[in-house]
Structures are given as structure tokens and as C-alpha cells.
């Protein structure tokens, strides 16, 4: 037996030696590709690619290899220099362009079925007859209801060139109806909500910096000033940035002539300084800017300019720290790159960009902030005290990446009861809101006053209905005393989600949520 095993082992060893011998024998004798160690003009990379093309065993997909090489090269630079294939580039440009071509609806997917939240007034869907509450079953021949279709795929199916048609099969009141909708250009708004918080304080929530952002913010502010606004709470929380010029235009509205807004500088880019020209119409408004860990790029430019000029108060948590300047380069095949060419600095000289020497640490920075307690305690915030700068009034501000707020607002982690967590896992509140619209859509769709909406929701005993819905539909029951603890922060959210189906739209959600928003409460006290 042992001899047999030994013989097999010897045979296998011979096979391995034979394979190695084949490799050595069949290789051209002493083939050495000349490389003089000069890495200029990408010589070594070109040599490698030439060898692959001449000698590789199989057919080469040059397009695929080229794209892979580009991606790999850019990954060696910084976290924000990226390559975008044609489809991704088109989607990225559309997101910030201020309009896109499609059917003109907003929808949510609470339980594997897209439910229309609203239709754009005057848009293709409204003209065709789609309405809030409709369940979308099919887009052309694609079944998207109950198929776990990703939400971004649903959006892509509905979008398309203006003038083209798309078939949308919906379910309404249990009946299926097919609509033929002609796509058109649809405006995309970057201001989510704007309204008065009290008699003299206005609120503007900005979602992103798109092509139309300055016009939207200016219009919203002028409307609120007409209602008596003397103090603006400008909410940049969750705003990941966008077009640089829009940040400049908005900052310019608040700052006096000659005040610095931002400057950029890089190895191949001379320093470019941007200052206010004094034409701003909101220089005398009291100003509060809200930021958090997801406020980035253009949001940080605005917050940094306001803070360094002592123009207003910055409230919240340390911002993301994205201060690298991307310059787009477009290729004729529809693809492109966004290449980092400079860094943004606030007027005092702080570099907005946080360190990125270790990519994994950079990627997980926000999670690290949670782990180290920065979200709940100002004392846990990473502050580079060796990097000191000064505002125009001589206040100390610190570098190290991101904008550190003047007033810290911790994240509230005490509200998540077990009942809340279970409802969140099953999207109970979202699905309940949809069921409420189905039940009361006639009345909800007609309401356009917030006080009237609040009274109506109380009149239909929405709280009792939610508790029953959670227990009967999702089998979630609150433990003794748990609902009393949960209702304080769950009911405003539930009312806000149902209120979205009224004519108030997103404004209803933000207004209901105000009492729970520690950032806004801090701004009102400031």
C-alpha cells in the first residue's frame, strides 16, 4: 500500500516537473525586453501592453483592458479621481444638470412595488393621467412589481430621450390601467423645502448644488423675506456638493465686497482666489448654516466662507472633508474622467480635504467617527490643534479636514426602542403611509395648508391606526410602556410620511419633523 502511494507521489511530482520544464523550454531563449528604468512617457506600461498584444495566448479585448488600466491608474492618485464609462458619465451629468428627460414622477418602493408619491405639475405623467398612489407594475414589457428590481434600475427604465414613448402599467383601486407616456425634459429641484419657522426665521433645505441651485435658493429666500424673514437657517446637512460655481454664487449673496470665499491651488494650477463682489442681496440677513458628517465639497465651501468671515453661525457636526477639485475631461466615445487638479482652501487658509494617505481609513472614516464617539460628544471630535487659523475677527479655527461647527449638536442615539428598530427593518412606517393614502386619498390630495393637514390626521386617529397596522400587518407589538416612549419621535415621522401625499409634499415632512430636529432647535435658540 505504502509503495503504491509512493509511486503515485513520484508520478505526480514528475508531472509537475514536466509542466515546469514545458514553461522553461518553450520560452524563447533569454528574451529580455529592454527597459532603461526611465518611467517618463509611460514607457514601461507601453512595453507591457505591447508584450500582451504580441504574445498573449487568447484574443484580447482591448477596450476592456484599456478601461481596467485607466481605473487602476486613477485609483493610485486619490479617492476622487475616477473614470466614468459612457452610461455612468451620462447619469452623473444628468444628476447635476438641473433637468433630465423622463416621465416626471417621484416614487418610493416600500415593499417591492414602486408607489407614485407625486407627479410633476405640467409634466408628461400628469398630462397622461398618472396620480399619487398609483402602483407601477410594468415599464414597457418589464415587470418591476414583486421582482426585487433595484430602484435605480426602475429609474433607468422610465428615463429616456424627450419625444420617445414608454408604456406604464399601473394598479389603481385594484384595477390595472396602461398609460402611454411621451417623455419630456423634467426639471430637477435642489431645494427640498423652504418655509417660515416662526415670524422672523426662515428655513431653506438644500439637497445638492445643481445647475439651477443658485436661482432656486435666491428665489426661495426672496419669498421668505417677503414674509418677514430676518434670520435664515440654511440647511446643508446631507448635501454632498456639486457644481462649484453655484457655491460661489450663493456665498456671494451673504458676504460683503472683498470678503474671501475660497481659493484653490495645485501643482499644475496656480492659486485662484475667489472673493465676494458686494452685489449680494442678503448681506444683512442673520444667518445660521447647518452641517453634518455628510455635508461635503460645495457645502463645505459655503460653510467655511461663512465661518471664516464671521458672517454667521455654523451648527452641527464636523463636515465630511472633501476639498479636492475635480476637473472633467470628456472623450469622444462618451466616457470621461474626473481628475483632481487642486485643493480647496477656506479664506483663512484651512485645507478642506481630510487626509487620504490610507484609502481604507478614508473610506471608513465616517464609521470610525461613530466608533470613536465623535457623533455624540464634541470632546471626541478629531481636532488638529497644531493647525490653527484665524477668522476675520480673530477667532481660532482649526484645520485637519472638514469644517468644525461653532456649535456642536450631537446625534441622538437614545430614541431607538426595540419597537422602532423592528418597524424600521420592515419599512412599516412607509407602507403604512401608502395604505393611508389609499384609504384617504380624496381628502389628502386636496389639503394644502399645514395646520389643516395636522388637524385632519388627528381626526382620523392616525396614531391608533398605525399601532393596529404594525400589529396586524407586520406582527410588531410594542412591549408595555414602549409605545409611549416611541410615539414622541415616531408620530412626527409617520405624519410627515403621510403628509407627503398632500399638496404640501416634502414641506409637510420637514414641518412635522421640526420638533425632533435638534439642529433646527439649536438654530432657533442661537
Q: How confident is the model at residue 9 (pLDDT cuts 50, 70, 90)?
A: very low
How far is the C-alpha of 291 from the C-alpha of 244, rounded, in Å? 18
- Looking at the structure, do residues 279 and 404 belong to the same domain, yes or no? yes
Q: How far is CA 133 from the centre of its chain?
A: 25
Q: What is the pLDDT of residues 91-123, one digit of tens each?
A: 666 555 555 678 888 787 767 788 887 787 667
- The residues near 144 (Cβ < 8 Å, ≥ 6 apart) are 114, 136, 137, 138, 153, 154, 157
Q: Is the pLDDT of residue 278 over 80?
A: yes
How far is the C-alpha of 275 from the C-alpha of 258, rounded, in Å? 5
Average pLDDT value over all residues in the chain: 86
Q: Looking at residues 219-233, what average pLDDT do you find?
A: 97
- Looking at the structure, do residues 155 and 266 belong to the same domain, yes or no? no
Domain carrying residue 51: 37-76
pLDDT computed for residue 46 by the predictor: 81
Which CATH number covers residue 114? 2.30.42.10
- Of the candidates 196, 390, 409, 226, the one whose C-alpha atom is nearest the C-alpha of residue 316 is 409
Q: Is the pLDDT of residue 22 over 50?
A: no
Q: Is the pLDDT of residue 78 over 90?
A: no
Q: How confident is the model at residue 11 (pLDDT cuts 50, 70, 90)?
A: very low
- pLDDT top residue among 95 and 437: 437
The three-state DSSP-derived secondary structure of 460-523 is CCHHHHHHHHHHHCCCCCCCCCHHHHHHHHHHHHHHHHHHCCCCCCHHHHHHHHHHHCHHHHHH
Q: Is the pLDDT of residue 425 over 90?
A: no
- Of the candidates 86, 87, 353, 299, the one whose C-alpha atom is nearest the C-alpha of residue 190 is 299
Torsion angle in degrees (nearest 10) through CA of 224, 227, 233, 238 = -40
Q: Is the pLDDT of residue 275 over 50?
A: yes
Question: DSSP state, 241?
Answer: -
- Looking at the structure, do residues 230 and 259 belong to the same domain, yes or no? yes
How far is the C-alpha of 102 from the C-alpha of 186, rounded, in Å? 6
The overall pTM is greater than 0.85: no
Q: How confident is the model at residue 8 (pLDDT cuts 50, 70, 90)?
A: very low
Q: Is the pLDDT of residue 227 over 90?
A: yes
- Looking at the structure, do residues 479 and 349 belong to the same domain, yes or no? no
- Looking at the structure, do residues 111 and 166 belong to the same domain, yes or no? yes
Q: What is the pLDDT of residues 354-378, one digit of tens each?
A: 988 755 667 678 888 888 888 888 8
Q: How confident is the model at residue 389 (pLDDT cuts 50, 70, 90)?
A: very high
How far is the C-alpha of 506 from the C-alpha of 193, rounded, in Å? 6
Q: What is the pLDDT of residues 440-460, one digit of tens each?
A: 988 998 999 999 999 999 999
How far is the C-alpha of 426 from the C-alpha of 44, rounded, in Å? 54
Q: Looking at residues 176-201, what average pLDDT do you find?
A: 89
How far is the C-alpha of 39 from the C-alpha of 54, rounded, in Å? 22
Q: Is the pLDDT of residue 68 over 50?
A: yes
Q: What is the pLDDT of residues 252-269, one digit of tens each?
A: 999 999 999 999 999 999
How far is the C-alpha of 111 from the C-alpha of 126, rounded, in Å? 24
- The residues near 231 (Cβ < 8 Å, ≥ 6 apart) are 200, 201, 202, 285, 286, 287, 288
- Looking at the structure, do residues 470 and 362 belong to the same domain, yes or no? no
Q: Is the pLDDT of residue 520 over 90?
A: yes
pLDDT computed for residue 393 by the predictor: 97
Q: Looking at residues 416-441, what average pLDDT do you find?
A: 86
pLDDT computed for residue 3 by the predictor: 53
Angle of helix 506-513 relative to helix 450-459, nearest 10 degrees? 80
Q: Which of 131-135, 218-222, 336-340 has the highest mean pLDDT?
A: 218-222
- Looking at the structure, do residues 380 and 490 belong to the same domain, yes or no? no
Asked whether residue 332 is assigned to any structural domain, the reply reads no
Q: Which of 190-199, 320-329, 412-421 has the lowest mean pLDDT?
A: 412-421
Q: What is the pLDDT of residues 152-168, one digit of tens each?
A: 788 888 888 888 999 99
SS3 206: strand
Last residue of a domain, one of 157, 187, 217: 187
- Looking at the structure, do residues 387 and 457 belong to the same domain, yes or no? no
- Of the candidates 422, 421, 428, 374, the one whose C-alpha atom is nearest the C-alpha of residue 401 is 374
- Looking at the structure, do residues 253 and 134 belong to the same domain, yes or no? no
pLDDT computed for residue 500 by the predictor: 86
- pLDDT top residue among 60 and 7: 60
How far is the C-alpha of 53 from the C-alpha of 86, rounded, in Å? 25
Last residue of a domain, one of 371, 388, 408: 408
Asked whether residue 468 is assigned to any structural domain, the reply reads yes
How far is the C-alpha of 121 from the C-alpha of 104, rounded, in Å? 8
Residue 298's Cβ-count burial label (10 Å; 0-12, 13-18, 19+) is buried
- Looking at the structure, do residues 239 and 367 belong to the same domain, yes or no? yes
- pLDDT top residue among 22 and 400: 400
- Looking at the structure, do residues 107 and 141 belong to the same domain, yes or no? yes
- Of the candidates 331, 296, 323, 298, the one whose C-alpha atom is nearest the C-alpha of residue 89 is 331
Q: Looking at residues 498-523, what average pLDDT do you find?
A: 90
pLDDT computed for residue 96 by the predictor: 52
Q: Is the pLDDT of residue 70 over 50?
A: yes
Q: 388-426 b/e with 16+ CB inside 10 Å = b?
A: ebebeeeeebbbbbbbbbbebbebeeeeebebbebbeeb
- pLDDT top residue among 208 and 427: 208
Domain count, the chain: 4
pLDDT over 70 percentage in the chain: 88
Asked whether residue 495 is assigned to any structural domain, the reply reads yes
Whether the CB-CB separation of 318 and 296 falls below 8 Å is answered with no
Question: How many residues are recorded in the chain?
Answer: 526
- pLDDT top residue among 18 and 186: 186
Q: Looking at residues 265-275, what average pLDDT do you find?
A: 95
- The residues near 433 (Cβ < 8 Å, ≥ 6 apart) are 110, 494, 497, 498, 500, 501
Q: Is 466 left (phi over 0), alpha (psi -120 to 50) or beta?
A: alpha
Whether the CB-CB separation of 243 and 286 falls below 8 Å is answered with no
pLDDT over 90 percentage in the chain: 45
How far is the C-alpha of 510 from the C-alpha of 507, rounded, in Å? 5
What are the phi and psi torsion angles at 95 (to 5°)?
A: -60, -30
Q: How confident is the model at residue 346 (pLDDT cuts 50, 70, 90)?
A: very high
- Looking at the structure, do residues 308 and 436 belong to the same domain, yes or no? no
Residue 387's Cβ-count burial label (10 Å; 0-12, 13-18, 19+) is middle
Q: 228-264 b/e with 16+ CB inside 10 Å = b?
A: ebebbbbbbbbbbbbbbebbbbbbbbbbeeebbbbbb
SS3 105: strand
How far is the C-alpha of 344 from the C-alpha of 365, rounded, in Å? 20
Amino acid at each position: 500500500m505504502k509503495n503504491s502511494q509512493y509511486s503515485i507521489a513520484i508520478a505526480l511530482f514528475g508531472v509537475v516537473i514536466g509542466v515546469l520544464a514545458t514553461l522553461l523550454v518553450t520560452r524563447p531563449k533569454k528574451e529580455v525586453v529592454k527597459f532603461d528604468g526611465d518611467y517618463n512617457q509611460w514607457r514601461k506600461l507601453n512595453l507591457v501592453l505591447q508584450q500582451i498584444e504580441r504574445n498573449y495566448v487568447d484574443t484580447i479585448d482591448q477596450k476592456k483592458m484599456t478601461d481596467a488600466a485607466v481605473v487602476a491608474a486613477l485609483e493610485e492618485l486619490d479617492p476622487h479621481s475616477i473614470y466614468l464609462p459612457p452610461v455612468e458619465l451620462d447619469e452623473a451629468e444628468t444628476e447635476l444638470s438641473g433637468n433630465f428627460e423622463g416621465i416626471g414622477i417621484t416614487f418610493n418602493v416600500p415593499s417591492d412595488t414602486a408607489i407614485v408619491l407625486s407627479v410633476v405639475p405640467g409634466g408628461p405623467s400628469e398630462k397622461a393621467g398618472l396620480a399619487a398612489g398609483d402602483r407601477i407594475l410594468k415599464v414597457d414589457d418589464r415587470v418591476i412589481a414583486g421582482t426585487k428590481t433595484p430602484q435605480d434600475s426602475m429609474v433607468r427604465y422610465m428615463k429616456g430621450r424627450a419625444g420617445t414613448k414608454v408604456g406604464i402599467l399601473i394598479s389603481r383601486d385594484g384595477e390595472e390601467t396602461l398609460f402611454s407616456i411621451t417623455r419630456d425634459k423634467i426639471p430637477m429641484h435642489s431645494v427640498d423645502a423652504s418655509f417660515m419657522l416662526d415670524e422672523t426665521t426662515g428655513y431653506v433645505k438644500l439637497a445638492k448644488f445643481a445647475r439651477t441651485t443658485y436661482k432656486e435658493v435666491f428665489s426661495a429666500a426672496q419669498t421668505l423675506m417677503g414674509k418677514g424673514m430676518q434670520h435664515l437657517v440654511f440647511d446643508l446637512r446631507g448635501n454632498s456638493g456639486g457644481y462649484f460655481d453655484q457655491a460661489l454664487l450663493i456665498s456671494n449673496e451673504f458676504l460683503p465686497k472683498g470678503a474671501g470665499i475660497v481659493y484653490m491651488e495645485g501643482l499644475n494650477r496656480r492659486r485662484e482666489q475667489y472673493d465676494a463682489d458686494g452685489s449680494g442681496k442678503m448681506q444683512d440677513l442673520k444667518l445660521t448654516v447647518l452641517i453634518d458628517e455628510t455635508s461635503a465639497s460645495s457645502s463645505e465651501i459655503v460653510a467655511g466662507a461663512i465661518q471664516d468671515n464671521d458672517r454667521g453661525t455654523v451648527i452641527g457636526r464636523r463636515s465630511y472633508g472633501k476639498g479636492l477639485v475635480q476637473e472633467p475631461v470628456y472623450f469622444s466615445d462618451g466616457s470621461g474622467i474626473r481628475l483632481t487638479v487642486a485643493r480647496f482652501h477656506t479664506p483663512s487658509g484651512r485645507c478642506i480635504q481630510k487626509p487620504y494617505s490610507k484609502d481604507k481609513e478614508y473610506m471608513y472614516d465616517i464609521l470610525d467617527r461613530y466608533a470613536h464617539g465623535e457623533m455624540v460628544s464634541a470632546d471626541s471630535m478629531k481636532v488638529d490643534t497644531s493647525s490653527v487659523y484665524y477668522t476675520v475677527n480673530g477667532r481660532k479655527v482649526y484645520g485637519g479636514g472638514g469644517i468644525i461647527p461653532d456649535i456642536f449638536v450631537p446625534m441622538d442615539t437614545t430614541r431607538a426602542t426595540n419597537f422602532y428598530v423592528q418597524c424600521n427593518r420592515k419599512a412599516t412606517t412607509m407602507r403604512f403611509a401608502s395604505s393611508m393614502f389609499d384609504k384617504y386619498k380624496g381628502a389628502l390630495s386636496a389639503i394644502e395648508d399645514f395646520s389643516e393637514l395636522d388637524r385632519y390626521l388627528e381626526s382620523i386617529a392616525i396614531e391608533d391606526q398605525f399601532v393596529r397596522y404594525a400589529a396586524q400587518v407586520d406582527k410588531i407589538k410594542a412591549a408595555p410602556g414602549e409605545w409611549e416612549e416611541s410615539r414622541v419621535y415616531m408620530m412626527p415621522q409617520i405624519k410627515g410620511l403621510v403628509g407627503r401625499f398632500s399638496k404640501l409634499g416634502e414641506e409637510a415632512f420637514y414641518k412635522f419633523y421640526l420638533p425632533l430636529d435638534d439642529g433646527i432647535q439649536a438654530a432657533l435658540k442661537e
